[in-house]
């Protein structure tokens, strides 16, 4: 056998070995593996801490203890907006978010819907984050393979797989919390998975994991993504978060073959009406954001100041048209759904009276030269100018000259922050309101015994 023939046979063997290895690698990268790879960068792990108090605790001391919690979130906007379950963030003192690359960030709560158990939190990343690909829950099939990713028992980015066991389940967790139209799955869902994605084999989120059946094996539940996206759109509403508005009324249309945002109408005299939106228009793009539903539309406008012009592409008939939408300042807020957090304007002195009557406090802005908040973890605060004798604040030990830096789970840097708390539907029946104050260089916190009722 000649040398050239030997070389040829050796090359053939090497080609065969390489081809076999490549085929083996392809076989290992199953659709499930590819789905996880596509989605995992958009899954975050949430670690929380809250303080529990003894019945008669005034300020935090040996009568309080710290409790750690865990959950999961889904990135819905590259600027760091994340959706999770409300019960993951309810009543927490602090939130820490960990990305798949191990980087960690402090997070704050933006808005929530207690009844539907969804919340938006935000981190401030140094780069744009990968947004979770979202599918539709309109065409889910019994027996379809699904994947859960989350912070199960604190084991970050745990992946489990199973099938869809049932659809349209109504589940009552307790007297205060019940769910409708849930997806049932046998993919293992454990404490810490709450708020994480239920994926299909395309790596698209089709549900948000929310609950398990205590004492059962492999019975978990998820909120259908089509239902969740409608709530998320409201939680990201620029009316609620930016005090601006567009006036567009629209409907999400979701099916296996169609995912579109259809214009129903535009409020008379609104920016949308001025821009020329018509019933039947399909919103294709807003600014740089491709739009398939109301969540996309709201996040495209989120953070834009009043007077900003946004180019919105709509499909009208067979052609695309570009409309110039100039968002406007919104002075009042309609509160059509008491389950969501709504900010109202308080520019007529009402807030001053309500703060005095409800909390027993008169608040004022910190002078520019006041440096007492500098060097602390707080973004600012409101000075306590007066305390009503016998009021909730006085009975809790708050004094004139203290700086109020937080109520419940929110900071109190400006008047609107206090209005946000007093208008919060979750607190309407609360008897105790957590507060944080600075006294000198010390942070004190405790509970005021108040009843935040309807105005």
Q: Is residue 93 annotated as a catalytic residue, yes or no?
A: no
Query: How many Å apart are CA 88 and CA 453, to the nearest integer?
Result: 25
Give exposure, 127-166, as e/b (b: 16+ Cβ within 10 Å). Answer: eebbbbbbbbbbebeeeebbbbbbbbeeebbbbbbbebbe
Asked if residues 327 and 237 have their Cβ atoms less than 8 Å apart, the reply is no
Q: Which of 117, 252, 296, 402 is catalytic?
A: 117
Cα–Cα distances in angstroms (integers) from residue 445 to residues 124, 352, 398, in the given order:
26, 23, 10
Q: Which of 42, 111, 137, 194 is catalytic?
A: 194
Residue 35 CA, distance from chain mean position: 23
Q: Is residue 194 annotated as a catalytic residue, yes or no?
A: yes
Q: Which of 47, 86, 87, 246 is catalytic?
A: 87
Cα–Cα distances in angstroms (integers) from residue 55 to residues 395, 409, 446, 450, in the given order:
15, 20, 11, 15
| Helix (H/G/I), strand (E/B), else coil: 446 | strand
**Most distant CA atoms of the chain, gap in Å:** 108
Asked if residues 356 and 300 have their Cβ atoms less than 8 Å apart, the reply is no
Query: How many Å apart are CA 185 and CA 147, to the nearest integer?
Result: 9
**Among candidates 438, 437, 435, 432, which has minimal Cα distance to 450?**
432
Q: Is residue 117 annotated as a catalytic residue, yes or no?
A: yes
Q: Which residues are catalytic?
A: 87, 117, 194
């Amino acid at each position: 056998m000649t040398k050239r023939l030997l070389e040829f046979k050796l090359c053939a063997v090497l080609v065969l070995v390489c081809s076999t290895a490549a085929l083996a690698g392809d076989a290992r990268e199953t659709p499930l593996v590819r789905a996880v790879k596509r989605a995992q960068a958009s899954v975050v792990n949430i670690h929380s801490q809250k303080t529990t108090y003894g019945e008669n605790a005034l300020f935090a001391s040996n009568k309080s203890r710290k409790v750690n919690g865990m959950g999961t979130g889904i990135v819905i906007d590259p600027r760091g907006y994340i959706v999770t379950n409300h019960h993951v963030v309810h009543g927490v003192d602090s939130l820490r978010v960990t990305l798949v690359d191990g980087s960690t960030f402090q997070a704050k709560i933006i808005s929530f819907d207690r009844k539907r158990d969804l919340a938006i939190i935000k981190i401030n990343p140094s780069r744009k984050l990968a947004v979770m690909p979202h599918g539709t829950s309109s065409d889910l099939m019994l027996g379809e393979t699904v994947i859960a990713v989350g912070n199960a028992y604190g084991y970050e980015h745990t992946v489990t797989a199973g099938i869809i066991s049932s659809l349209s389940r109504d589940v009552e967790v307790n007297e205060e919390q019940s769910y409708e139209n849930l997806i049932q799955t046998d993919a293992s869902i454990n404490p810490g998975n709450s708020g994480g994605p239920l994926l299909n084999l395309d790596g698209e989120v089709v549900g948000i994991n929310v609950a398990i059946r205590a004492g059962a094996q492999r019975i978990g539940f998820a909120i259908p993504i089509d239902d969740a996206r409608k709530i998320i759109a409201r939680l990201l509403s620029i009316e609620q978060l930016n005090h601006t508005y567009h006036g567009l009324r629209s409907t999400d249309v979701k099916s296996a073959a169609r995912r579109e945002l259809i214009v129903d109408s535009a409020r008379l005299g609104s920016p949308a009406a001025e821009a020329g939106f018509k019933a039947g228009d399909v919103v294709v793009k807003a600014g740089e954001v491709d739009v398939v539903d109301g969540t996309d539309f709201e996040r495209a406008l989120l953070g834009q100041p009043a007077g900003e012009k946004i180019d919105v592409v709509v499909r009208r008939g067979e052609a695309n048209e570009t409309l110039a939408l100039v968002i406007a300042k919104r002075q009042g807020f309609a509160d059509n759904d008491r389950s969501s957090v709504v900010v109202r304007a308080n520019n007529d002195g009402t807030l001053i009276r309500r703060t005095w009557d409800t909390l027993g406090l008169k608040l004022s802005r910190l002078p520019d030269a006041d440096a007492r908040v500098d060097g602390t973890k707080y973004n600012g605060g409101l000075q306590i100018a007066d305390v009503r004798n016998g009021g909730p604040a006085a009975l809790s030990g708050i004094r004139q000259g203290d700086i109020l830096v937080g109520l419940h789970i929110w900071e109190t840097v400006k008047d609107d922050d206090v209005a946000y708390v007093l208008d919060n539907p979750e607190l309407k029946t609360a008897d105790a309101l957590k507060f944080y104050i600075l006294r000198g260089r010390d942070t004190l916190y405790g509970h005021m015994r108040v009843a935040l009722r309807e105005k």
